[in-house]
Structure 1
Amino acid sequence: MNRQKFSGVKNSFLQRRYGVSLGRRYVLAAASVVLFSVLGCSQVDTKTRAVAETGIPKPEPSLQKKTVIPNTKVVNANNKFGFKLFSEVAKRESNAKNISVSPTSVAIALAMTYNGASGLTQKAMAKTLELQGITLPELNSAYTELNQLLQNPEQNVQLTIANSLWVNQDISLRPDFLQRTRDFYQAKVANLDFQNPSAPSTINNWVKENTKGKINNIVDKIEPDQALFLINAIYFKGQWSEKFDKSQTQPQTFYTASGQQKQHPMMSQKGEYRYYENPQFQAVSLPYGQNKKVSLYVFLPKQNSNLKAFYQNLNAENWEKWMSQFDSREGSIRLPRFQTDYDITLNDTLKALGMGEAFTNKANFSGMADQLAISQVRHKTVIEVNEEGTEASAATSVGMVPTSLRQPQEPFEMIVNRPFFYAIRDNQSKNILFMGAISEPG
């Protein structure tokens, strides 16, 4: 089967955007929120109160973003943190459950939080987020540049990143913290009456808007001692550089992690891909857009292995090694259509990774305000992959080498009919936007 050439970008986009039927939609979204609570009964510092920003349009991404060079130290830190985060989450989930996280969303939400941390709390967060040796000004500038580089890299690949800070109207925050949040993270900063029953809806509507309706809520209720919410939302929608032919999609057997067999639509395609294989797994890169700046990487453990064994080798060092060994090769792939929603509270995960103090009465967020601690870090993702491409959203809330010439190789065959790992990676910056594991495609 010949791969279909990408054409009619604008027309296809308009059809999908305005609801003309082209088959199932595809999306990826993530949201992360950090919730903060007040410790004790004394009044929080009253130097400067967060001032609501309303009616101010968000600045358009710079047209000069192609000239931006990402800070490799911060990208490496993000990816190291991402693999640690995923590994810890995987430990806590059953082998039969699909997992999907956006390390970028969680890292940005926690980076905003890190701006208010001091003392031992700051050191603990730096260790967890792999920020040792990176100054706060360097970190903030790097996120400004990364945001500029990542957003909407080309016409048929949409990627948006949005941040917000919601402050209880009775709470006042340090002016320099507020200024950094606005200047470096382009965050919407707003005061809100947390006692008003409509307050959760106000926050959730912002998340819904910034994930294109894929994540409807990140805050279920607001506790009486809640002080503020720091939220990151990411939305991604990409068309394959070469779409799958829908007529080639057929029901085939997928062998789930629980040992069951289920019939599931499997997409099929032949062509030239960036591909890597070793004794443990097969891996392929499926790019989005004409310029292939972003790709979905699929890692399929060999039949004599499984995801649990794959996880033992899944870390930032091995990831970079694997990325350097992908090579162009002819082959065929069968990939299940899949969609999954994932919702997790990351408190225990982050405590296990070393930042437990931030959740206790020993927490020091004096750079933000007095007597604050993180009460909850919540993360949601939505992803759908089909013949057209991928659409995804994530939301995180913090409540507070030269190679030798190779001989021609036989075409590979990669049949993804059993549990697999995936990652969506920005190939320009090398930043990993999403990662997950599908044990049973939905």
Structure 2
Amino acid sequence: MDLADSLLLLLAGLLFLPHGQLHPERYSLHQEPPSTGEGSPSLKIAPGNTAFALHFYHLMASQSPGSNIFFSPLSISASYAMLSLGARSHSKTQILEGLGFNLTEVSESDIHRGFQHLLHTLHLPDDRLEMHMGSTLFLSQDLLILPEFLNDSVAFYDSKLFLTNFHDPVGTTQLINDHIKEETQGKIVDLVSKLNTDIAMVLVNYIYFKALWEKPFQPSMTTTQDFHVDENTVVQVPMMLQDTAHHWYLNDRYLPCSVLRMDYKGNMTAFFILPNRGKMKQVEEALTPEMLTRWNRLLQKRHFYRKLELHFPKFSISGSYQLNEILPKMGFVDLFSRQVDLSGITKEKKLQVSKSFHKAILEVDEVGTQAAAATGIFTTFLSAWHNHRVLWFNRPFFVVIFSTNTQSILFLGKVVNPTKP
């Protein structure tokens, strides 16, 4: 039997683990999750997930102030929360606290059950949108994985584990890239390159999201317009137009920006935050969990549902991140070092997370949004001219894609130049 055959058989065995191996007190992966109302498990972890999302965002913004930013904080959080199942002592604490959780307020059990509930809720069948999310660990085939870690990672995170031969870096690279390409409907390709032969473990995460606007744009009304990247740079973009629809929209009284809420079919919504001219840095610094909560609350009031002439770009952007270089700056000090304790995964060898990648792609057009990830003239016109409200997204803006029933940020980013993929 050659190497390819043995890998295929091994993957099939891991991918089709019988549910009988799961702990009996946990509900099956195919059962309906509990209610998503107040007090549901996923809402207990929502504050921590939001804190992590904004911490990651601000770190990226400080490192690349003039670049597009786009990532899936939920995909990253779920992956590392899953990995914490195999961490011990201080390494476990660092991961969970790095993910934004105050362990004096939310227990480790609450965290895992929160993610279990959240992922099951997001995966419930809905013919109005497509949603695929998951985590995969690629481990050396020489390792004997502890059953508790295997069972818990499947039960709580619906994760997949692949055993592979890292002494064949070309074959392993192809295996990882093919897996992610398939899971993201072909949107994420060539995520990994140039793996070293001394690697024993690779963590990847993915999310694929495709949804239709509740109020789609008319393609016939899309025209080429200017987009002002900065004071000296203007690019041409296809600008979509809606001139008769009502939208959830506000011009913030306390912060120099406008906020637009656009709903998708299904339990998803998007917030686009457009800073006033020259106020990007001021608005960016004010992006906090409290501010997002405030906008979300305000944009549910009927007062802010009004007729708007909306000009919005049709675009595609992406973000690629080496998490093993970023997360240590967020408190994950031991995880990518020799000090990490992952003895809950295997007792045979001392494991170290060698690499972790994340890539996200956002496509917005007239009918809706596709987003995939693998772990908002320079003036907004609010004039009294014929009582006519006009909003031009023709300069950099922020985007937040939000799951309403789990109160979770799926994607977060900044569109600086919509012509740069």
With the shorter chain as reference, the TM-score category is 0.7 to 0.9
Query: Which moved further from structure 2: 60-69 or 183-192?
Result: 60-69
How far off its partner does 1:331 sit?
A: 1.4
Task: Give the counterpart letter for 2:407 in structure 1.
Answer: K
**In structure 1, C-alpha distance between the alignment counterparts of 2:387 and 2:248, rounded to whole Å:** 14
Task: Give the counterpart letter for 1:116 in structure 2.
Answer: G
Partners of 2:41 and 2:113 within 8 A in 1? no
- Give TM-score, length-normalised by structure 1: 0.80
| Corresponding residue for residue 175 of structure 1 | 147
| Corresponding residue for residue 350 of structure 1 | 327
Name the CA shift for 1:60/1:138 in 2 (closer, same or farther; >3 Å): closer
**In structure 2, C-alpha distance between the alignment counterparts of 1:323 and 1:301, rounded to whole Å:** 17
Query: Which moved further from structure 2: 270-279 or 329-338?
Result: 270-279
Secondary structure, aligned partner of 2:405:
coil
RMSD of Structure 2 on Structure 1 (CA): 2.5
> Which one of 25, 30, 53 corresponds to residue 14 of structure 2?
53
Name the CA shift for 1:297/1:57 in 2 (closer, same or farther; >3 Å): farther
1:318-365 alpha-carbon deviations (Å, 9 max, x no partner): 211221111322212111111012211123321221112222222122
| Corresponding residue for residue 101 of structure 1 | 71
How far off its partner does 1:222 sit?
A: 2.6
**In structure 2, C-alpha distance between the alignment counterparts of 1:63 and 1:374, rounded to whole Å:** 33
| Corresponding residue for residue 367 of structure 1 | 344
Partners of 2:317 and 2:363 within 8 A in 1? yes
> Which one of 261, 269, 277 corresponds to residue 285 of structure 1?
261
| Corresponding residue for residue 361 of structure 2 | 382
Name the CA shift for 1:57/1:433 in 2 (closer, same or farther; >3 Å): farther
**In structure 1, C-alpha distance between the alignment counterparts of 2:367 and 2:391, rounded to whole Å:** 19
1:34-45 correspondence to structure 2 within 5 Å: none
How far off its partner does 1:283 sit?
A: 0.8
Task: Give the counterpart letter for 1:296 in structure 2.
Answer: A
**In structure 2, C-alpha distance between the alignment counterparts of 1:303 and 1:70, rounded to whole Å:** 41
How far off its partner does 1:70 sit?
A: 4.5
How far off its partner does 1:439 sit?
A: 0.8
**In structure 2, C-alpha distance between the alignment counterparts of 1:392 and 1:66, rounded to whole Å:** 27
**In structure 1, C-alpha distance between the alignment counterparts of 2:82 and 2:231, rounded to whole Å:** 39
Partners of 1:61 and 1:151 within 8 A in 2? no
Q: Which has the higher strand share?
A: 1
**In structure 2, C-alpha distance between the alignment counterparts of 1:57 and 1:284, rounded to whole Å:** 46
| Corresponding residue for residue 7 of structure 1 | none
| Corresponding residue for residue 53 of structure 2 | 82
Q: Does 1:92 align with 2:63?
A: yes
1:272-314 alpha-carbon deviations (Å, 9 max, x no partner): 111122141001111111x5x21121100012412x2221111
| Corresponding residue for residue 219 of structure 1 | 192
**In structure 1, C-alpha distance between the alignment counterparts of 2:75 and 2:84, rounded to whole Å:** 14
Task: Give the counterpart letter for 1:320 in structure 2.
Answer: T
**In structure 2, C-alpha distance between the alignment counterparts of 1:254 and 1:269, rounded to whole Å:** 17
Partners of 1:52 and 1:191 within 8 A in 2? no
| Corresponding residue for residue 392 of structure 1 | 371
Name the CA shift for 1:182/1:62 in 2 (closer, same or farther; >3 Å): closer
Secondary structure, aligned partner of 1:177:
helix
> Which one of 138, 156, 163 corresponds to residue 135 of structure 2?
163
Partners of 2:202 and 2:354 within 8 A in 1? no
| Corresponding residue for residue 273 of structure 2 | 299
Q: Does 1:143 align with 2:126?
A: no
| Corresponding residue for residue 275 of structure 1 | 249
How far off its partner does 1:163 sit?
A: 2.4
**In structure 2, C-alpha distance between the alignment counterparts of 1:173 and 1:244, rounded to whole Å:** 51
Note the residue ranges of structure 1 that are not aligned, 5 or more in a row.
1-48, 397-408
1:86-125 alpha-carbon deviations (Å, 9 max, x no partner): 1101111141x21101001111111111111222222222
Task: Give the counterpart letter for 1:395 in structure 2.
Answer: A
**In structure 2, C-alpha distance between the alignment counterparts of 1:316 and 1:155, rounded to whole Å:** 31
Note the residue ranges of structure 2 that are not aligned, 5 or more in a row.
1-9, 20-26, 376-385
How far off its partner does 1:138 sit?
A: 2.0
Partners of 2:241 and 2:311 within 8 A in 1? yes
**In structure 2, C-alpha distance between the alignment counterparts of 1:165 and 1:359, rounded to whole Å:** 15
How far off its partner does 1:175 sit?
A: 2.0
Identical aligned pairs, as a percentage? 26
Partners of 2:240 and 2:312 within 8 A in 1? yes
Task: Give the counterpart letter for 2:75 in structure 1.
Answer: S
| Corresponding residue for residue 5 of structure 2 | none
Name the CA shift for 1:382/1:52 in 2 (closer, same or farther; >3 Å): same
How far off its partner does 1:249 sit?
A: 0.8
How far off its partner does 1:215 sit?
A: 0.5
Q: 1 or 2 for the larger relative contact order (CA 8 Å, sep ≥6)?
A: 1
1:191-248 alpha-carbon deviations (Å, 9 max, x no partner): 2122233121112111111000000132213322211223321100011111101111
Q: Does 1:336 align with 2:308?
A: no
